[in-house]
Amino acid sequence: MESCLKDVRMGCDQKHSVKLECAECTRGVAVMRERTERQRLLLSALTASPEPLTGSELAQQCGVTRQVVVHDIALLRAAGENILSTPRGYRLQSAEPKLCRYVVSVNHPPEMTVLELNTFVDCGVQVMDVVVEHPVYGELKGSLDLASRRDVEVFMRHIQEDVAPLLSSLTAGTHIHHLSCLRREAVEEAITRLQAIGVCVYWWDSLDDPPSLS
């Protein structure tokens, strides 16, 4: 008689024939296989979808709860899969053409948020996130992944439905965005338009040190 797989790795207190695993070990193998297949389905769904998929949508496709999907996504990320979480759901980060990346520091009142975001996307600039420097908690960051007016509309609807304050409300309107675009001229045009309507904007290449704002 020899130890079963669980006896070797998980502390099974029974001895079994090598050819006969205990029922508990068999169940464990079944669970692992089910999880592997579910994660394969998650990756397949994310790869095939041109739009982000919510946790609820993925849960429905896999026949599990949203909490199970969140756990599986975390495991896939830990395994190296580049899965992004956005306000519109999860999406798989695929290979992209080389993009120009910039950082902007912006200050404006809340009522100008839609105008600011639409200006960026209208010029072909993707707004990756929003960052604020809180005096107590330090850097606070939220993923946005906005590339179109439709994306901006969905994001603002979530803000309104959840009665959630904008991060910039914590810092009197001052916030930072990381941007990406195919050409430098796109972000230059967006900055020019924003400055023309009175929005205070500083910007720099993401690889450079930020300019002094004093």
Question: Can you tell me the distance from the alpha carbon of 12 to that of 4, in angstroms, rounded to the nearest whole number?
Answer: 8
Which comes out higher in pLDDT, residue 105 or 34?
105
Read off the pLDDT of each residue in 160-169 and give the average, rounded to a whole number: 90
pLDDT in tens, 1-12: 444 544 444 445
Confidence band for 204, pLDDT divided at 50, 70 and 90: confident
Residue 9: the pLDDT is 43
104, 176 Cβ separation under 8 angstroms = yes
The string of pLDDT tens digits covering residues 102-139 is: 999 999 999 999 999 999 999 999 999 999 998 888 99
Beta bridge partner(s), residue 2: 16
Mean pLDDT of 172-187: 93
Domains and CATH numbers, the chain: 17-92 (1.10.10.10), 100-205 (3.30.1340.20)
Give just the sign of the alpha carbon dihedral 154, 159, 162, 167. Answer: positive
- The residue among 65 and 9 whose pLDDT is bigger is 65
Q: Which of 24-38, 59-73, 144-158, 173-187 has the lowest average pLDDT?
A: 24-38
Give me the pLDDT at residue 5, please.
46
How confident is the model over 183-195, as a mean pLDDT?
Answer: 94
User: What token pair was written down for 168?
Assistant: 């910039």
Distance CA 186, CA 26 (A): 58
C-beta of residue 102 within 8 angstroms of C-beta of residue 140: no
